[in-house]
Structure 1
Amino acid sequence: MHERYVELHAHSCFSLLDGAVTPEVLLDQAQALGLQALALTDHDGLYGAVRFYLAARQRGILPIIGAELTIAADSSFPMSSHLVLLAEDRRGYRNLCWLISRGQLAGQKGHPQLSLAQFAGRTAGLIALTACPRGRVTAHLRARATDQALATLQALKELFGPQSVYVELQQHLHPDDAALAAALADLARRLPLDELRRSEHRENIAQRLPVHRPDESHTTPSRQNNLNPTQRPVHRRQIEYLARRSIRCDSHRHED
């Protein structure tokens, strides 16, 4: 594994129906791959942050605390979307906790309500990633709305600062991954912003990762039977997804 490679977008079992393994298992795999650092970015909470932090220190891995937040729909985007935030220091951690709490208190259980307007004054010490296909930038590109994608990226740049926004390029072996990554990289060059490059640009690790296919144990039989194929939860191969995005380790420094 490349010594500068760091996974910055990983979910544990604390992201129900999205992650399938414990923070400790993620860290064991990171250690096996020789990673120096790992970020945990569970959905809308820091449920596993303490055990992740302690377990990472025990393994000699730098823990990066983050979360993938759900952003409420607004006039510029008609549905909820995702945004990944990483705490760069204590100030960033405090702001991340504030944003998570505000979203959870404003919404209903399981449906946080956090608007981008609420980020004002709360972005110091935070690094923003454009996130998965449910991120606004990526969603606009998939809809071939390049101007809207560029405007969204510009808004994030103004909100977090040009040195704290990264375009996230994912390679999960989906049919449109390569084309989407190329379009995202082009956006990053136009602003310009840095890119979180796909792992294939550093080292071909797919053959080194064991395939983990989560079973249906976290979905009740009645729920499985009642859902049509388009409504069934998509289970991801969490371990195979580990270490698919990269950035230099020394770009993120945590204080003890």
Structure 2
Amino acid sequence: MAGSGSDFVQLHNHTHYSLLDGASKIPDLVRRTKELGMTAVGIADHGNMHGAYEMWSEAVKVGVKPIIGIEAYTTPETARQDKTRVHWGTEAQRSDDVSGGGLIAHLTLWAETDEGLKNLLKASSVANLEGRVMRYPRMDNEVLSTYSKGVICGSGCPSGIIQTRLRLGQFDEALRYAGELQDIYGRDNFYIELMDHGLKIETQVTNELLDIAKRLNAPLLATNDSHYVLEEDRGAQDAMLCINSGSRLDDPDRFRFDGSGYYLKSAEEMRAL
């Protein structure tokens, strides 16, 4: 899944348009991509497409192909106007249950064609106008299906519906939802994402994700949840998270990223995972 720099692409990258979460500036991201010998790079900012034009213009300057995407907030299989908090597990499983206190899940989407880019822009607009709950502009299955043409879908990070169902011990529900996404985007355009940042919530479901991919004959996609360009940029992103949560760096209980490796990794580093 991770070959040489020229044939491997980092797709799951958050830029500074993932507000107070991503610390990668787009010019730095595309330049580093070029340095690593990669011919293309993707973005997948949280809930918005604000970086689409800057990504395109900066990438073409250095001869890197831009792949525009979004890490969409989706509903937990409810209608986008429904603000009900959903929990699929028991009280004891609450920490593994639906993200955002029961309001959201994550799903990664990338434009494969010009039509796909237009569809992502439309879907993002609908999410903001009709699906917003608190700070989350949410898409439901109707939006995903309506604006699916020309779009590639990845199963996302641990906050995805598939991964959440698996952590709760609900394999059949995870398989069902994966099948629905495959029906929406097509057999060749739905990928099972695999991540490894040294987190139990990732590794505990890896084998079941592989099983789902095998049962659906779905391709695999190795991604890295990049939030900053260089490994040494971690401190800057950590400070940004403090601003986001209104906490201090010396607060032991503040929100922070567990695990490691949330930077733009080379193909060789991805292969070593």
CA offsets per residue over residues 44-84 of structure 1, 9 Å max, x none? 11111111111111111110010011012345964310111
- Which residue of 1 is the match for residue 42 of structure 2? 39
Tell me if the contact between 1:3 and 1:34 (Cα under 8 Å) persists in the aligned partners: yes
1:131 matched to 2:152 = no
**SS state at 1:112 partner:** strand
**Residue of structure 2 in register with 1:92 after alignment:** 116
Deviations 1:127-171 (A, max 9, x none): 000000011111111222111110110110111111110000112
Aligned to 2:83: none
Aligned residues: 237
Residue 43 of structure 1: how far off its partner (Å):
1.0
Q: Distance in 2 between matches of 1:186 and 1:140?
A: 14
TM-score (norm 2): 0.76
Question: Are residues 173 and 241 of structure 1, via their aligned partners in 2, closer, same or farther at CA, if it must alter by over 3 Å?
Answer: farther
Structure-to-structure mapping, 1:72-221, within 5 angstroms: 72-74=75-77, 78=87, 79=102, 80-106=104-130, 107=132, 110-175=135-200, 177-197=202-222, 210-215=231-236, 216-218=238-240, 219-220=242-243
Q: 1:158 & 1:130 partners in 2: Cα distance?
A: 13
Deviations, residues 78-130 of structure 1 (Å, cap 9, x unaligned): 43101111001111011101100000011256221321122233200000000
One-letter amino acid of the structure 2 residue matched with residue 232 of structure 1: F
Structural RMSD (CA): 2.9
CA distance, structure 2, for counterparts of residue 163 and residue 173 of structure 1: 29
1:20–1:238 Cα contact (<8 Å) kept: no
TM-score by length of 1: 0.81
Residue 94 of structure 2: aligned partner: none
- CA distance in 2 between counterparts of 1:44 and 1:222 reads 18
Q: Partner of 1:86: helix, strand, or coil?
A: strand
- Unaligned segments of structure 1, at least 5 residues: 200-208, 247-256
Tell me which residue corresponds to 1:53. 56
Which residues of structure 2 form unaligned runs of 5+?
Answer: 80-85, 88-101, 225-229
How far does residue 31 in structure 1 lie from its aligned partner after superposition?
1.3
Please tell me the residue identity of whatever aligns with 1:16: L
The DSSP-based 3-state class of the residue aligned with 1:144 is: coil
- Closer/same/farther in 2, CA of residues 94 and 240 from structure 1, 3 Å limit: closer
Indicate how the Cα distance of structure 1 residues 230 and 168 shifts in structure 2: closer, same or farther if over 3 A, else same: farther
CA distance in 2, matches of 1:159, 1:221: 34
Contact in 2 for aligned 1:169/1:245 (Cα 8 Å)? no
Q: Which amino acid aligns with 1:45?
A: N
The equivalent of 1:29 in structure 2 is 32
1:141 aligned partner, one-letter code = L
Shift of residue 21 of structure 1? 1.7
Measure the CA separation in 2 of the matches of 1:221 and 1:19. 11
Please tell me the residue identity of whatever aligns with 1:131: G
Per the alignment, do residues 133 and 176 of structure 1 end up closer, same or farther by CA in structure 2, a change over 3 Å counting?
A: closer
Residue in structure 1 matched with residue 67 of structure 2 by the alignment: 64
Structure 2 partner of 1:234: 257
**In structure 1, what is the Cα distance between the partners aligned to 2:245 and 2:147?**
42
Code of the residue aligned with 2:124 in structure 1: it is I
For residues 162 and 4 of structure 1, the distance between their equivalents in structure 2, rounded to whole angstroms, comes to 22
Amino acid at match of 1:123: S
